[in-house]
Amino acid sequence: MESQLFLLTERDAFLEAMSRIASTVSIVTTDGPAGRSGATVSSLVSVSADSARPTLLVCLHQSSGTAAKVIENGIFCINVLRDEQAWISDIFAGRAGVSGADRFRSSDWTFGHGRAPRLSDALVALDCQIAGSQIVGQHHVMFGEVQGSTIGEAGYPMLYLNRGYAVARPKRLAVHEAAA
């Protein structure tokens, strides 16, 4: 496979490499004066737990209507999906033929520490206020200060890996004792 990667453009090689790195799948939601919106993302990273408020970053494509609404509303909620919630991801990714506010009719939503919709049975939900935003390439990189965290019932996150959904299952580590 290594020799085949040399035939790819730098961009294509980067995309292939990134497809092999597992990411959690989340729905970013917002609501406020700009309106309610949501989008599926796999680009969520913890930035710092030791700043004035814990901070994370998320990336949304600049052509996404959700990106503009998040910036104008100033708030968003990260809803980390469970391993069995692929259909919600597909709806908010635009693959299910559902658009706009109808996307929110597919599931049960509540409101947490902010005005952004929170998925009732998310694995984790993080209510955030925008601390900064920057366009990098075709994406808005948004920094969010976490205003509140909701930890759902135990379960496994849905992952995006090799250009498809995957499930993480913890592996028990074998304990080896040294011979006496």
Residues 65-86: pLDDT tens digits?
999 999 999 999 999 999 999 9
Confidence bin at 4 (pLDDT 50/70/90):
low
Q: Where are the domains of the chain?
A: 23-167
pTM for the structure as a whole? 0.87
CA-to-CA separations, 59 to 2, 7, 178, in angstroms, rounded: 29, 29, 47
Determine the pLDDT at residue 180: 44
Q: What is the mean pLDDT of residues 156-160?
A: 95
Can you name the CATH fold of 23-167?
A: Pnp Oxidase; Chain A (2.30.110)
Q: What is the mean pLDDT of residues 7-35?
A: 92
Residue 139 has pLDDT above 90, yes or no: yes
